[in-house]
Amino acid sequence: MTIDWALLQPAIVAAAAGDREAQARVVATCLPEVRTLVHRELQHDFRQRHRWILPLFSTQDVVHEVLAAVVQDLADTEFVGAAPFCAYLGTLVRHRLLDAVRFHEAARRDRRQQVAEPTAGLAGIATDGREATPTLAASLGERAALVRDALGELPERHRRLLELRLCEDATFPQIRAALGYASDETARQAFLDAQARLLVKLRGRGLGRTLAG
């Protein structure tokens, strides 16, 4: 997708001034590119850790939600083109998601720490106008639980196949060797089938549009 910078630039200026319609236009225009950048970087970030959460970032709504919050704070920013602007947005979105994951992981380690909905006491956490990390962390935690539950309903071979492909970035030849499929194409078809089954279960839980394969 090619972004028309001449059209996007005035929308950015208006968005920075607080125009909600302009903010929505910026989000809609930049979402595909930002989502691609964020997902690629998160695959690298989570290659060794947090693998359980990778499928959550394959859904467009998560990136859209955080991107919308980022676009509300564009004051004092200047860019020379669409590519550096999207790169900037992608970096901010990625950092906020990583912050939320770290917060959620800390909460999992300490069960006495509660992740709650926003309250006056939490307002100080987002001192730069960002959405409070506990709110996003709670949302990610709920999504993670839904993904784990859905995966738990699949056969063991399907679960391992999805983990290899989505979380460990395994190639189909590697999956064929690890799980004993007859060919690379058989492994690929098995992945598509497992992915479709998981999507049905996630949609039944109100989660997920697409999973990257």
Each residue of 137-157: pLDDT tens digit?
777 777 777 777 888 888 888
Q: How far apart are CA 198 and CA 79, in angstroms?
A: 40
Q: What sign results for the dihedral spanned by CA atoms 9, 15, 19, 24?
A: positive
Q: How far apart are CA 69 and CA 64, in angstroms?
A: 9
The predicted structure's pLDDT at residue 154 = 86
Please, which pLDDT band fits residue 12 given cuts at 50, 70 and 90?
very high
Amino acid at 207: L
Kindly report the backbone phi and psi dihedral angles of residue 191, in degrees, each rounded to the nearest multiple of 5, phi listed first.
Answer: -65, -45
SS3 content of the chain, % helix, strand, coil (to 5): 70, 0, 30
Amino acid at 143: R
Residue closest to 34 by CA, chosen among 80, 89, 95, 98: 89
Please, which pLDDT band fits residue 71 given cuts at 50, 70 and 90?
very high
Close Cβ partners of 49 (under 8 Å, ≥ 6 residues apart): none
The string of pLDDT tens digits covering residues 168-200 is: 778 999 988 888 888 999 999 999 999 889 888
When pLDDT is averaged across residues 27-44 and rounded to a whole number, the result is: 88
Distances (CA, A) of 62 to 18, 66, 187: 22, 7, 29
The predicted structure's pLDDT at residue 133 = 67
When pLDDT is averaged across residues 35-52 and rounded to a whole number, the result is: 73
The string of pLDDT tens digits covering residues 99-125 is: 777 776 666 666 444 444 443 332 323
pLDDT over 90, % of the chain: 25
CB atoms within 10 A of CB 192: 11
pTM of the model: 0.60
CB atoms within 10 A of CB 162: 21
Query: Out of 18-27, 64-73, 149-158, 181-190, which region has the weakest mean confidence (pLDDT)?
Result: 149-158
The predicted structure's pLDDT at residue 25 = 96
Residue 24 has pLDDT above 90, yes or no: yes
When pLDDT is averaged across residues 52-58 and rounded to a whole number, the result is: 60
Judge contact between 50 and 201, C-beta under 8 A.
Answer: no
Close Cβ partners of 199 (under 8 Å, ≥ 6 residues apart): 208, 210, 211
The predicted structure's pLDDT at residue 125 = 30
**Chain centroid to CA 156:** 25
CB atoms within 10 A of CB 213: 12
Please provide the average confidence, as pLDDT, over all residues in the chain. 77
pLDDT over 70, % of the chain: 73
